[in-house]
């Protein structure tokens, strides 16, 4: 459903009573994603530790931007693979160039669409979405496609700036509450496992397929 935006950073499109966040252009996105202070603001090492990845795991970094998390994931799964998914060709090209330049042979850049991440079916051990889910134009279709890509014991991890944090400098359209994330993701056949608030400003929410979906 589309109408005028009601929040700063909103797109005017709505899903399950939430206004979807507006998507940044590729040039602006690259500057924001590569800002030097990001290491301090988001503490990526803490997030990597929470993921508890096997060195042979197959991971999908969805909405990967310029690879801030992709290459950290690749270091953790030297015998596995990282599918680095973006919907903007310029960002996919950047990911590919960086992977080649830095010798990451286990990184596969993927050009997805706004409704399909274009991942192989029943292949992914963990799908990671960092500060991108709130911008999905078609959340139901995207999450359903991600679900089809997961192995029966696969996990979905969503990281979003906390809507509950009134001191956050991030605009309302680019933050989500824990309750809303659970409401949307559980409606599509996932079970919430835990929320790890180990980051300064972001929820880390871990989901798995519910039992019926896992034995599909």
Res 183 pLDDT > 60:
yes
pLDDT digits (tens, 9 = 90+) for 41-51: 788 999 999 99
The pLDDT of residue 5 is 58
The residue among 6 and 202 whose pLDDT is bigger is 202
Task: Express as a percent the part of the chain with pLDDT over 70.
Answer: 88
- Lookup: tokens for 128: 């990671």
Quick one: tokens of 64?
A: 């990967």
Q: Given this model, what pLDDT does residue 38 score?
A: 73
In whole angstroms, what is the distance from residue 62 CA to residue 213 CA? 21
Share above pLDDT 90 across residues of the chain, in percent, rounded to a whole number: 80
**Burial class for 2, CB neighbours closer than 10 Å (0-12, 13-18, 19+):** exposed
β-strand 124-130 against 58-62: which pairing, if any? parallel
139-160 residue pLDDT tens: 999 999 999 999 999 999 999 9
Rounded to two decimals, the pTM is: 0.90
Q: Is 10 exposed, middle or buried (0-12, 13-18, 19+ CB in 10 A)?
A: buried
CB proximity list for 65: less than 8 A, separation 6 or greater: 29, 30, 33, 86, 91
Query: For the chain, which residues make up each domain, given as ranges?
Result: 10-214
Average pLDDT value over all residues in the chain: 91
For residue range 54-93, list pLDDT tens digits in order.
999 999 999 999 999 999 999 999 999 999 999 999 999 9
* CATH fourth-level superfamily of 10-214: Vaccinia Virus protein VP39 (3.40.50.150)
At 133, phi and psi to the nearest 5?
Answer: -55, -40
On the CB side of 28, how many CA atoms lie within 13 Å of its CA? 4
Closest C-alpha among 119, 116, 44, 132 to residue 81: 119
9-51 per-position pLDDT tens digit: 899 999 999 999 998 655 555 555 666 677 777 889 999 999 9
């Amino acid at each position: 459903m589309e109408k005028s935006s009601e929040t700063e950073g909103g797109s005017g499109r709505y899903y399950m009573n939430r206004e979807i966040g507006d998507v940044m252009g590729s040039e602006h996105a690259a500057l924001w994603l590569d800002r030097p202070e990001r290491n301090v603001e988001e503490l990526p090492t803490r997030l990597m530790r929470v993921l508890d990845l096997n060195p042979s795991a197959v991971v999908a970094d969805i909405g990967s931007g310029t690879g801030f998390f992709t290459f950290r994931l690749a270091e953790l799964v030297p015998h596995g693979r990282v599918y680095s998914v973006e919907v903007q060709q310029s960002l996919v090209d950047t990911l590919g160039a960086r992977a080649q330049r830095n010798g990451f042979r286990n990184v596969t850049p993927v050009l997805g669409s706004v409704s399909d991440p274009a991942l192989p079916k029943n292949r992914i051990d963990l799908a990671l979405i960092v500060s991108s889910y709130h911008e999905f134009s078609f959340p139901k279709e995207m999450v359903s496609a991600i679900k089809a890509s997961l192995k029966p014991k696969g996990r979905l991890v969503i990281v979003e700036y906390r809507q509950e944090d009134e001191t956050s400098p991030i605009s309302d359209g680019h933050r989500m509450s824990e309750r809303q994330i659970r409401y949307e993701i559980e409606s599509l056949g996932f079970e919430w496992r835990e929320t790890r608030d180990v980051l300064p400003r972001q929820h880390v929410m871990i989901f798995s397929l519910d039992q019926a979906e896992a034995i599909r």
